[in-house]
Amino acid sequence: MGLLLGIDIGTSATKTLLCTPEGKVLATAGVEYPVYAPKPGWSEQEPDDWWKATVAGIAAVCRKAKRRPGDITGIGLSGQMHGSVFVDKAGRALRRALLWNDQRTARECEQIETLAGGRKKLIGMVSNVALTGFTAPKILWVRKNDPRVYAQTYKVLLPKDYIRLKLTGEYASEVSDAAGTLLLDVKKRDWHGGLLSRLSIDADLLPPVYESTVVSGKVSALAAKSTGLAVGTPVVGGAGDQPAGAVGNGIVRAGIVSATMGTSGVVFAHSDKPVPNDAGNLQSFCHAVPGKWCVFGCMLSAGGSLQWLRNTLWADEVEAAYRRKGDPGALYPKMIDEAAKVSPGAEGLVFLPYLTGERCPYPDPEARGAWVGLTVRHRRAHLVRSVLEGITFGMRDQVELMRKAGVKITEVRASGGGATSELWRQMQADMYHANVVTINTREGGALGVALLAAVGTGEYSSVPEACNAVIRISTRLKPTKKNSAVYDSLYPTFRSLYADLREDCHALGLVKGA
């Protein structure tokens, strides 16, 4: 029986996963590498660090599973979206890649809107607005500020597609990741020639795009020598990290969405048609399911808000954990136990979770966090409860935007830190007015692309069939009417506070040292 390999090129580490076609995970490995910030707001990485991590990860999972790399019969690739790798004709990276969280391209975003004929026309072309994280403004920035590199550039690749090049020698991408460049016609699932022309970007700089399950290359003799993989092993298109994670969570049919709470918080929905968003606070991309689409939003400080509270109010315990090389994450269950002692609504205390600005529902880097409604009755337990509720209200904002856009939501699959606590899952069910479930795996993107490889190599006939064979519901919580009523009464206040405080937050951002 052949094995499947999933490779996920993350921002902090590359995760490698080895599994059977039935989805049984045999081994995982993570290899970290640095992020460089040569100037404030800049974020870069060395593409060859990803390749070294990939080689090391393949060796590690095979060693752990006591299997040979040659036993692998299909490979799927995932990775951080929007990054830009500039390579020459020999396939060598010419400079560090600009990452998804790089903020240097605000002027280029304005330029793109102008050249497209305005925001409305840009959305009509590529279904999204220009954001600094996307790839297109990075290309314009390098063209203007690093013309020597631009003149030598043969192709501009996304992070996972650079690894594809190293594995197969092929220049290729796929539609789910390519949608995040701002250069793909999301409706037609191909590069938008008209926009490329308006931006004076040569279409030959971009690789061909495929559906996510299509075999886009095979392991080369050179890569086989480095990795031990068999020459000719198929490599499928794969997916960007968010669509890949959605496949790993079984978000492959209408009505089911995922709510993933890590440092940030992402609500992701499958759609049978494109869902353009004029405000730019939701992203409308091609899904990794062939012929389907997706819509998702991202709040910047979901679990990050709870981490800040832990590091602030439990600073001594966190420091002690680091000193003894323990896990400060062990404090989270204790914090949630405290929150459980407080009734829903935290006795009128509301927390705004905009500690690092916000992206959805407010694309506003100057947004600030706040507690509103503090009284002498409130204690530490109230603060924790209000933070949990503020984060979940922020996730509800995304859910409501999707419902307004016509996305049907009957079930929410919780993952990340927000899925580990029954109290927090119940809070989500009560706020979303939907059943909240967990599934039998937490492997996310690496498993998702391994399943795409299973489809591409003929183990399954479709992505939904693969997900149905592998993914099972573990727990299910239904909304509680009483709690939902409390949260529904608080939600309008939560929603109004951003607008009420926006000008003050922007003024505070101008204060020296803020």
Say if CB 106 and CB 267 are below 8 A apart.
Answer: no
Which sequence positions are flagged as catalytic?
241
Polymer length of the chain: 514
Beta bridge partners of 173: 209
Say if CB 8 and CB 14 are below 8 A apart.
Answer: yes
Backbone angles phi, psi at 496, to 5 degrees: -80, -20
Give me 320's structure tokens.
């002690």
Distance from C-alpha of 231 to C-alpha of 229, rounded to nearest angstrom = 6
Give me 221's structure tokens.
């003799």
Instruction: Look at residues 185, 173, 170, 96 and name the one whose alpha carbon lies nearest to residue 138.
Output: 96
Distance from C-alpha of 127 to C-alpha of 33, rounded to nearest angstrom = 33
Backbone angles phi, psi at 444, to 5 degrees: 65, -130
Say if CB 180 and CB 135 are below 8 A apart.
Answer: yes
Nearest-5° Cα angle at 305, 421 to 242: 75
Q: What does the DSSP assignment read for 146-192? A: -HHHHHH-SEEE-HHHHHHHHHHS---EEHHHHGGGT-EETTTTEE-
Distance from C-alpha of 213 to C-alpha of 211, rounded to nearest angstrom = 6
R_g (Cα) of the chain, nearest Å = 23
Instruction: Look at residues 444, 76, 427, 391 and name the one whose alpha carbon lies nearest to residue 236.
Output: 76
Beta bridge partners of 3: 72
CA terminus-to-terminus distance, the chain: 58
Give me 119's structure tokens.
């925001």
CA dihedral 302, 241, 423, 470 (to 10 degrees): 180
Distance of CA 155 to the CA centre of its chain: 24
